[in-house]
A = this chain, B = another copy of it.
Amino acid sequence: MGTLGYAILGLLHRRSMTGYELSKEFESGLFEVWSAKHSQIYPELKGLYEAGLIEYQVEISGTVLEKKVYTITPAGQQALRDWAQAPCGPLQTPKDEFRLRLFFSDCIPPQRRRQRLEERLAQHRQRLAQIEKDREKFDTLPPREGQAFSDYLVLLGGIAREEATCRWLETCLELCRQQEA
């Protein structure tokens, strides 16, 4: 089973949900770490159901609209635990289109390169502000037991990454400007 399957199991371990709600989770709570469109989620749910890792009950919204509320089974919980405990394999640097463009930026005008660096910096500052707003929801350090603690660690990781990226882009801009004078 692929990573997406475990991501879904993990979400359903927290609470039962419909496919639609899962797709919203990938845009909000899991935004930092994974993503998936509904067109990938629905077939995956079918597979997890056939593997006996989840089950569902049909509920009615309004008068006719059917929705399937998925729940993790004991077998699903075991599969999730096994996966979450296993080591992650060797490091692999994620592909980064911005860095690739920068890597080949010696063939473009210097002021254009500065422009792209500044744009990017603005984007990362905005993202950083968003994550820091999310952290404010934790007024106190959550207890190590429970999912809030895991959430908090991942949140700190996002802040660390965005801060480092902003500092790096600032350094790049400084170096670009320095040599111009």
Give chain A's interface residues, CB within 8 Å of chain B. 3, 6-7, 10, 13, 30-35, 77, 80-81, 83-85, 87-88, 90-110, 112, 116, 119-120, 123-124, 127, 141, 143-147, 149-151, 153-154, 156-158, 160-161, 163-165, 167-168, 171-172, 175-176, 179-180
Q: Which residues of B contact A176 (CB under 8 A)?
A: 144
Are A167 and B175 interface neighbours, CB within 8 A?
A: no
Are A103 and B30 interface neighbours, CB within 8 A?
A: yes
Are A33 and B93 interface neighbours, CB within 8 A?
A: yes
Residue of B nearest to A99 (CB): B33
Are A160 and B167 interface neighbours, CB within 8 A?
A: yes
CB of A94 to closest CB in B, whole Å: 4
Sampled A-B contacts (18; CB under 8 Å): A3-B97, A3-B100, A6-B104, A7-B100, A13-B107, A30-B103, A33-B95, A33-B103, A34-B100, A87-B119, A102-B150, A102-B154, A105-B150, A106-B145, A106-B147, A143-B179, A157-B168, A157-B172
Count identical subunits in the complex.
2
Q: How far is the CA of A180 from the CA of B154 in the complex (A)?
A: 19
Q: Which residues of B contact A96 (CB under 8 A)?
A: 33-34, 94
The list of the 3 closest CB pairs from A to B, nearest first, reads A164-B164, A10-B104, A94-B94
Contact of A35 among B31, B95, B144 (CB under 8 A): B95
Q: How far is the CA of A101 from the CA of B7 in the complex (A)?
A: 8
CB of A116 to closest CB in B, whole Å: 6
| Other A-B pairs, 11, CB within 8 Å; known A33-B100, A87-B119 | A10-B104, A33-B93, A34-B100, A35-B92, A84-B101, A84-B105, A88-B97, A93-B158, A94-B95, A143-B179, A164-B164
